[in-house]
Structure 1
Amino acid sequence: LSQKHDVTVYEKNDRFGGHSNTVMVNTSLGPTPVDTGFIVFNDATYPNLIALFEHLGVRTKESDMSFGVSLRGGETEYSSVDTSAFLCGGRNLMSPRFWSMTWDLLRFYRNAPLQLLATRDTMMSLGEYLNAHRYGAAFQRDHLLPQAAAIWSASMGDIHHYPACAFVRFFENHGLLKLKGRPKWRTVEGGSLSYVEKLTAPYAANARLRSGAVSVRRDASGARVRDARGRVDRFDHVVIATHADAALAMLEDASAQERQLLGAFRYARNRAVLHTDTAFMPRRPPLWASWNYVGDNPEGGCVVSYWMNKLQGIQSEEQIFLTLNPRTEPRADSILYENKYDHPVFDGAAIRAQEQLWSLQGVRNTWFCGAHFGSGFHEDGLQAGLAVAEHLGGVRRPWTVENESGRIHIGTPQRVKAIAA
């Protein structure tokens, strides 16, 4: 937008990036960048992010996306590190529950796309589908729901209410319904801070850090924005690039349609603790994976430990973990950093709202973008932001990729329709 327009950026934090949040940790290597929010992307379903990184000259490297589960105090453990880890060193060979899980896993991979992607019942929940087709508790509670909870940083209860059709479409697009030929995952060298700094460099000096927009009121000539410091400014247009609930909260004069669509999204707050306490990993070290689901927290959210050395290729002597919603506290001397992140919860109401979100664009000179336009990830937010910038600013993105807005529901904004008429 700034290529053709005078743009003012409001940011409530003292840094740019949101979930792209890199922490510098003192290790045997010296100051070491470790990500605590956005960590990885793949070569198949992040076309615009890859193009952006290439455009900015951001260097990336291969990552490891192995997944493991440790439940009931380590009584049930397996991981995708290798065959031995999947079988827990042979221990799972004698477990009927493990074989029930494995049989249902293969059945789900084979049948779910055929049964769901052609259905008209797009709002059937995942839980309803699994129960209707008699998937056992072992598969649901020991594999599918933990895996999905780790992906979306959600509780297993929230995942149970995810619309089954949208769930399977996401899994199929990301190669999660097959054992071989899955997308290759990568991470940013130097942490996500590397790309945030390059992306914001052209306007960082003039942006209003620690001055988030707290209220927006529209009229016939534009919008009035008041920030957290009490300053009020007028603009021709306003782009609200926040979570849906935050966008709705700052609209003083929200329309009925804005309240209906933006209000359809719920968010789950996850506490992320960066630490070095191995007690939050699977009981058997050979099973340690990059992503390790170790249960739900009764107070809310999934408990997942990310092994950052493996995810980001950190070769330090110290083993660094990022745990979401720990049930107990890591050792005090092991805690390096903590933060809280809000993630969208996708239920039937949210999925229905997504189909109409784009109708809000340009109405009363107001535009919206964010990861909630898609599946809640970096590529979704980027696709929404690029599409808004192109419609509002009249400038094309500096790259061409296939299916450039394929992860979001997009239409012609009302303002563009009015001009065309």
Structure 2
Amino acid sequence: MTAFHRHPAAPERRIAVIGSGIGGMAAAWYLSSRHRVTLFEADARLGGHTATMDVEVEGRHYAIDTGFIVFNDWTYPHFRHLMARLGVLTQPTEMSFSVHETARDFEYNGHTLTSLFAQRRNLLRPSFYRLLRDILRFNREAIQALENGTLAPAMTLGEWLDAGGYGATFQRHYLLPMGAAIWSASLQDLRDFPLQFFVRFFRHHGLLSVSDRPQWYTLVGGSRSYIPALTAPYAGGIRLSTPVRGIRRLADGVEVRTDAGTERFDEVVLACHADQALAMLEDPSPAEREILGALP
């Protein structure tokens, strides 16, 4: 992780960061080491998808993450370094996937062999063994196709599953609901996913292997525990409950318009969703309209 260090000849600039998810808070943290940062957040709290709720059960208190939950040692190198630098405590955890279908009294959990057959009738179901066989076949064939470069760029996941003859049980009780859980999407949304993106993501996160998987971690006290340390350097410049109504470029800076009025900054960082960014821009370029407008 590279930190910004003040250079004697580098003038301090006024920078607005719009959005207080991890992207906005991290950008503001790095930039605040040499610039004056103001962070705008429409909500009454910081964090975005970092949303920890306090729950009490039988006298015990739990910090339950409802948005950002876990990270791993394969695909989060910069986040891990940042947490270490901030002194935020982490702890190893386990990740598993389970399915329960009430309509036909069907369930399993893939974490261990015992939990896989926790519903003992699965031992006698030929369809369940076909499910396991399809899981192993999909993992093998997806890795081979990715390494051989034979994944068609325009093909969807659903088209590839159908062309490969993967059974309905595998699709509806394993692969599609797993993807739906990851991306908060419907099963049809997952069938329409670009095949290359889906396979690359599953490969990078160890989801195409039974044994070679990353170590997952959670933050002690919930994901919100990093917010105080990450916002401390620019705490005085945080504006909660302050939605940005418009952004306009000037010859020598940028205007940011809120309900409180208009302020001028040297630079603006948009740390929000694409549709939100496009709605704020009062003078978007053709490229910005095309790119931001193409992201749902």
Q: TM-score range by the shorter chain?
A: 0.7 to 0.9
Q: Which residue of 2 aligns with 1:257?
A: 287
Q: Deviation per CA, 1:269-289: give whole Å up to 9, x if none.
A: xxxxxxxxxxxxxxxxxxxxx
Conservation of the 8 A alpha-carbon contact between 2:151 and 2:196: no
Distance of 1:178 and 1:129 partners within structure 2: 19
Distance of 1:69 and 1:239 partners within structure 2: 40
Q: Which residue of 2 aligns with 1:71?
A: 101
Q: Measure how far apart 1:195 and its partner are.
A: 0.5
Q: Deviation per CA, 1:231-254: give whole Å up to 9, x if none.
A: 211111111000111111111111
Amino acid at match of 1:186: Y
| Cα separation, partners in 2 of 1:231 and 1:30, compared to 1, 3 Å | farther
Distance of 1:184 and 1:120 partners within structure 2: 28
For 1:265-344, list aligned pairs within 5 A: 265-266=295-296
Match for 1:134 among 142, 145, 165? 165
Q: Which residue of 2 aligns with 1:109?
A: 139
Q: Which residue of 2 aligns with 1:225?
A: 256
Q: Which residue of 1 aligns with 2:16?
A: none
Q: Which residue of 2 aligns with 1:209?
A: 240
4+ residue stretches of structure 1 with deviation over 6 A? Answer: none
Q: Measure how far apart 1:120 and its partner are.
A: 6.2
- SS for the counterpart of 2:95 is coil
- SS for the counterpart of 1:17 is coil
Q: Deviation per CA, 1:283-335: give whole Å up to 9, x if none.
A: xxxxxxxxxxxxxxxxxxxxxxxxxxxxxxxxxxxxxxxxxxxxxxxxxxxxx
| Cα separation, partners in 2 of 1:57 and 1:243, compared to 1, 3 Å | same
Conservation of the 8 A alpha-carbon contact between 1:84 and 1:90: no
Match for 2:215 among 167, 180, 184? 184
Q: Deviation per CA, 1:157-185: give whole Å up to 9, x if none.
A: 11111111111111111111111021111
Q: Which residue of 2 aligns with 1:147?
A: 178
Q: How big is the alpha-carbon RMSD for the aligned residues of Structure 1 and Structure 2?
A: 1.6
Distance of 2:253 and 2:151 partners within structure 1: 41
1:24 aligns with 2:54: yes
Distance of 1:210 and 1:254 partners within structure 2: 25
Structure 2 unaligned blocks of 5 or more: 1-30
Amino acid at match of 1:129: W
Distance of 2:155 and 2:96 partners within structure 1: 30
How does the TM-score come out when normalised to structure 1?
A: 0.60
Q: Which residue of 2 aligns with 1:368?
A: none
Q: Deviation per CA, 1:26-50: give whole Å up to 9, x if none.
A: 3445543221111111111110111
Q: Which residue of 2 aligns with 1:245?
A: 275
1:197 aligns with 2:234: no
Amino acid at match of 1:11: E
Identity between Structure 1 and Structure 2 (%):
48
Structure 1 unaligned blocks of 5 or more: 267-421
Amino acid at match of 2:76: Y
- SS for the counterpart of 2:50 is coil
Distance of 2:138 and 2:60 partners within structure 1: 46
Distance of 1:74 and 1:157 partners within structure 2: 21
- SS for the counterpart of 1:233 is strand
> Which one scores higher on RCO, CA 8 angstroms, separation ≥ 6?
2
Distance of 2:47 and 2:76 partners within structure 1: 18
- SS for the counterpart of 1:149 is helix
Q: Which residue of 2 aligns with 1:93?
A: 123
Q: Measure how far apart 1:74 and its partner are.
A: 5.3
Distance of 2:220 and 2:57 partners within structure 1: 17
